[in-house]
Amino acid sequence: MARQTAEINSGSMSDISFLLLTFFLLTSSIDTDNGILRKLPPPLEKDQTPPEINKRNIFTVMVNKYDQLLVNGRPSDVRTLKADAMEFLANPSNRVDYPEKKPVNIPELGTVSVSKGVISLKNDRGTSYEMYIQVQDQLTAAINELRDQLSKEKFGQAFSKLTDPKKAEAISTAIPVAISEAEPENIGGK
């Protein structure tokens, strides 16, 4: 007599999988981490002197512990920072007190004049993180907008929409993220 194999009762399987499902539902968090990406410079060597930069090429942004801004020696506001930084980096009217430009041959773009301007950011120990992020955000916005302009002019597309990594790299070389943060100093305490 052939032995009949008993059928496995699969009714409880759905119970088990429901249990697992609820577990993963509860533990999962889909929120992706957003933020402003930055690259830190390597630490300074002991006897290293900072490179000489022509004064007209530096755009100084200083923030004090009351979250007030000093841009190129004049009191300023975060709301105008983006426009100021863009004008400085692009220097459309070739002002003598704004940065020099240097023609560079970049593949995909041809010869473009690259600004030598550097944004120097300095903040006090007492500056709030919120203000710091706002300043960083505005400066990034200025660079991104310049990149968008150049990208639209050359490729007819916004920088963030470029799919070809070569084109994106060419644009980033033409307009680099030139934000330099000063070595921290302790002025005015906590």
Partner 1 sequence: MARFTKEGGHKVPGINTGSMSDIVFMFLFFFMVITTMRESTLLVSIKSPQATQIQKLEKKSLVSYIYVGAPIRAQYGTESRIQLNDHFASIADIQEFVNQEREARDEVDRKMLTTSLKVDETVRMGLVNDIKQELRECGAFKINYSTRKKVSKASL
Which parts of this chain interact with partner 1 (CB under 8 A)?
Answer: 10-11, 13-14, 17-18, 20-21, 24-25, 27-30, 32-43, 65, 123-130, 132-134, 136-137, 140-141, 144, 184, 186, 190
Smallest distance from partner 1 to CB 132, Å:
5
121 versus 170: smaller Cβ distance to partner 1: 121
What distance lies between CA 47 and its chain's CA centroid? 30
Smallest distance from partner 1 to CB 141, Å:
5
Smallest distance from partner 1 to CB 90, Å:
18
Side-chain half-sphere exposure of 82, counting CA atoms within 13 A: 12
CA distance 111 to 106: 6
147 versus 167: smaller Cβ distance to partner 1: 147
CA distance 88 to 100: 10
Residues forming beta bridges with residue 76, ordered by sequence position: 69
21 versus 104: smaller Cβ distance to partner 1: 21
CA distance 100 to 45: 29
Rg (the chain; Cα; Å): 27
Smallest distance from partner 1 to CB 4, Å:
20
Smallest distance from partner 1 to CB 83, Å:
15
CA distance 54 to 146: 22
Tell me if 84 sits within 8 A of 145, measured CB to CB: no
Angle, nearest 10°, between helix axes 129-155 and 165-174? 120
Smallest distance from partner 1 to CB 63, Å:
8
Cα-based distances in Å from 163 to 107, 110, 168: 16, 19, 8
28 versus 94: smaller Cβ distance to partner 1: 28
144 versus 157: smaller Cβ distance to partner 1: 144
55 versus 79: smaller Cβ distance to partner 1: 79
